[in-house]
Chain A
């Protein structure tokens, strides 16, 4: 009759350590591509925008114009704007590593050509095949206004890259952070943006005053009126 194996705690620990060493030594398989949305979207259009918040129409129009101008002047650029890790699908490790992601994205979309590519993330810019190295040195991405801020930064970067590549283009007129609604798309009326909270405070104050003016006997049918 077989007897159950018994092992000492020391040998169990040794076995466990050996297993851990084996795992540590084994090379981690690197998952391969097509799980970052931009690599698919940029095959059919020139800009990948963040999922949320939506970029305001005025800014996306300005982005289209500046890219069209750059293309007409010899710089056919594609741009990936990524506001958070969700925009990277399964490649979230590369969020806020704009140059690394640009190099990665280049390998996915360039095929046998050299596709000029600009990546914009809150941490900054990544550039491939577009202008001399360091063309965007000193330029900071606007990380404080969501997708609109990054798009604004992208537009500025395109203008700078075009100039650095010897294909200067005019900077388009773009709405300032306040005017474009701060990244929520469509533009919100200042009356609504500032008037609504004020109105709510006034209404709340009025309700509070009304409640204070009522005597306790008036609150006859309350929820707590249990016998």
Chain B
């Protein structure tokens, strides 16, 4: 198990900021609106590039000003149906509409395609797993289902986790 430990990569590319300009301002993003936080379930996302972890920051989907508490973002001025309150990759998924990874990356202000993961180009393709199984379609189309465990990778293969134990209430 120790051989499997990997740290967060060095540099800003591995620690992207949580908000695109539109979401920071609470403006509609791809049909998603910012408002009072709706009840949500959890999904989990892990990102790897070059055999290093890319952090999924706290604060995605929570418009500024944000109330921070150490590593956590407790709330924002308003909340989108997709948001992260902790830097662990746990995503709160709320609202009635079926949401996908593309929606999350749109709020986050990061790029996601078959050949790109955030700041990382992927000439050989972005590799995606859902619940431990390979996802061969466009990564942005991955649905954010309850307790989905999603892994996106660029570069050397990282054996994916198949499941995640979610915090109470999610």
Contacts and interface: CB of A to CB of B under 8 A. Distances in A.
Interface of A: 29-35, 37, 40-45, 51-52, 85-86, 88-94, 100, 103-105, 107-111
A92 B5 CA distance: 14
B2 A109 contact: no
A45 B10 contact: no
Nearest to A111: B7
A108 B7 contact: yes
B103 interface: no
B3 to A, nearest CB: 6
Contacts of A40: 8, 55, 71, 86-89
A90 B161 contact: yes
A157 B8 CA distance: 28
A85 B165 contact: yes
Interface string B63-85: 00000001110000000000000
Interface string B128-170: 0000000000000000000001000000001111111111100
A85 B163 CA distance: 13
Contacts of A104: 1-2, 5
A105 B1 CA distance: 11
Contact of A31 (B72, B160, B165): B160
A34 B6 contact: yes
B1 A34 contact: no
A104 B2 CA distance: 5
A85 B88 CA distance: 15
B53 A33 contact: yes
A187 to B, nearest CB: 19
Contacts of A31: 4, 159-162
A107 B159 contact: no
Contacts of B2: 100, 103-104, 107
A32 B87 contact: no
A152 to B, nearest CB: 20
Residue among A30, A37, A52, A85 having the largest count of chain B Cβ atoms under 10 Å: A37
Contact of A86 (B44, B71, B166): B166
A31 B44 CA distance: 15
A34 B167 CA distance: 16
A103 B158 CA distance: 20
Given A94-B1, A104-B1, A109 B7 contact: yes
Given A34-B6, A41-B87, A100-B1, A90 B149 contact: yes
Contacts of B87: 40-41, 43-44
Contacts of A92: 165
B50 to A, nearest CB: 13
B1 A93 contact: yes
Contacts of A110: 7
Given A41-B87, A90-B149, A35 B46 contact: yes
A34 B165 contact: no
A117 to B, nearest CB: 13
Contact of B164 (A35, A42, A51, A111): A35
A44 to B, nearest CB: 4
Given A30-B4, A32-B48, A108-B53, 15 more contacts: A31-B159, A33-B4, A33-B6, A33-B7, A37-B86, A40-B71, A41-B87, A45-B71, A89-B165, A90-B161, A90-B163, A93-B1, A103-B2, A108-B6, A109-B7
